[in-house]
Amino acid sequence: MDQGFRIYDRCRGEDCLKPKGIQWARLRLRGQDAIPESCLADRAKDGGCPPEATDEAYVDVFNTHLQATGPLLCNDGVDASAFLLELCAGNALIPPGLCESLSPIAKGLASSCNVVSDEEVRQSQLEQLREFVASVVDEGSDQPAILGGDYNIDGRTLTIAEEEYAGMLDDVLGRDLETTDDLISTAPEAFSWDIDHSDLAREEPQYDWERCGHGTSHGTELQIGQNPFADGSFPSALDPDCPAWECDVAGDEAHERLDYLFVRPPAAREDGDPPGYFLARTLDAAPLWLPLWPTDAPDGDRSHLCAQAATEEEGIPSDFPRISDHRPIVTELEFLTLRHPGRFHPAWNHTVRSRVTSVTLTNEPDCFLDLCGPRDPFVEFEGWATDAGTGLPVPSPGIRALASCDNRDAGSLVAADNECMDPWFLTQRAPAGAYTQHSVTWRLFDSDTGFDDEIVTIDGTYHPRLQVNWDTSMFEVYADGEVPETARYEAGLRTSDPLRWCSSIQSPSFCVETSLEEQR
């Protein structure tokens, strides 16, 4: 559906020679009732083509690679120019003479090693990741997201790099708790299908993440189903009572967990209802987090999961080639729908229906010193559309004064309890492609003998105006008279929920609900 990327601003050592950053893809997910491709091609509405769930059924996927720890170029005594030439040696993709010309750059990279630490670079990159995710995922998004990649932060246990791990969780989840608590479920351990932890590795409790954990890096010696060292000893970072899992290997670097898969849940809804979509476990009993070994050996041979090298010198058969120094993290998730997705499609005909749901008039006098008696509120609509061909406004259907709710002493009126508010709505037709936007304004009055008093609900003389922007697929609410850049509220048309907003947070005010309906 969409995609993008961002290159990180900061780096250290030879990492500055790599364009590390963030990749993003928005993946449309379709169920069995997905609309056929032929229907999408001609936007047909007949011939048995079903309505398609709109761009609402999707998941955002992010991938990143953060600053490595201990870049070789930053080691004491390293000759930067010689180091760069060694990196270039034998690389047929690098033109002859290029590395020699880059020698001054290598020296500059080496001199910057003492300016910033690896941890500080990663912190800066995580802040950029957080900003990028926030720019892509709507603040009130009803869809989950997945973030993965090589974060170069050791999470083998929750205490090895506790502070940096906690900061990573905050930036991934868009929060500021500064703890290693990653619970995203409102009812942890209550349901077998629910995902409790954002860090999917922690959904596998057998690894005891407080004390033992499980790594995602390769090691220097192959040990299948045995203790990491032949004599039964363990690296100092691990408890000697930790079990040895299949494919655990020797060497300190083998015990690092640098690669992650995170689930970022949908935003909490203001009305307290559950989100429309979320990710859950599949119905089978497969592990939710599985760190396999990266080889392209035959699938039927389980020994390839632990093969570690592709050279005969190291004693590993050449038919078990290793293709990475990190294990790939494998998961299988289910995208669940808790409500019917919206049916907005820019090439289909719709109606736009706006209705007043409540009015608040607390402490609002009725004309001068309440001499006119109880309040008699009514609403006046004015609707129009912008013609796609000429760009001129077209009344739709023009000004419409609605029946008043007479003799209302109560400070608040709710449509569900007051039949007099039933006509307080406006319906506009939106033929596909005919208009670039539809707009409607509301004005609240108190009906009196002689002159009707307008009740101002926004500071100054502005009136609330809602605009359905078909070009950008957005609801936009303005104080009429202000420039578009000062929109008070925005929401995407992809949601099937009606847009609800109020002209003010204090009396006097009124609240409006606007919905899109597909014309069949």
pLDDT (tens digit per residue) in 432-455: 888 888 888 888 888 765 565 777
**pLDDT value of position 461:** 62
pLDDT bin (cut points 50, 70, 90) of residue 303 is very low
The answer to whether the peptide bond before residue 508 is cis (omega within 30 degrees of 0) is: yes
pLDDT band at 315 (very low <50, low <70, confident <90, very high): very low
What single-letter amino acid sits at 195? Answer: I
Read off the pLDDT of residues 188-225 as tens digits, 9 standing for 90 and up: 888 888 899 999 999 988 888 888 888 887 654 433 33
Stretch 132-158: mean pLDDT, rounded? 89
pLDDT of 41 strictly over 70: no
Using a 10 angstrom Cβ sphere, with 0-12 exposed, 13-18 middle and 19 or more buried, the burial of residue 505 is exposed
Q: What is the pLDDT of residues 232-248, one digit of tens each?
A: 444 444 566 776 655 55
Q: Are 399 and 378 in contact (CB under 8 A)?
A: no
Q: Identify the CA nearest to 140 among candidates 265, 6, 3.
A: 265
| 370: region left, alpha or beta (phi > 0 left; psi from -120 to 50 alpha) | left
| Rg (alpha carbons) of the chain, rounded to whole number | 30
Is the pLDDT score of 138 beyond 80? no
pTM as predicted? 0.62
Decide if 324 contacts 294 (C-beta within 8 A): yes
Cα distances from 95 to residues 79, 80, 83, 92, 194, in angstroms, run 22, 19, 17, 7, 53
Backbone angles phi, psi at 143, to 5 degrees: -115, 145
Task: Look at residue 370 and tell me whether its pLDDT is greater than 80.
Answer: no
Q: 456 pLDDT exceeds 80?
A: no
Is 60 exceeded by the pLDDT of residue 301?
no
Pick the residue with more confidence: 49 or 94?
Answer: 94
pLDDT, position 236: 40
Determine contact, residues 213/155, Cβ cutoff 8 Å: yes
Output the pLDDT for position 213.
83
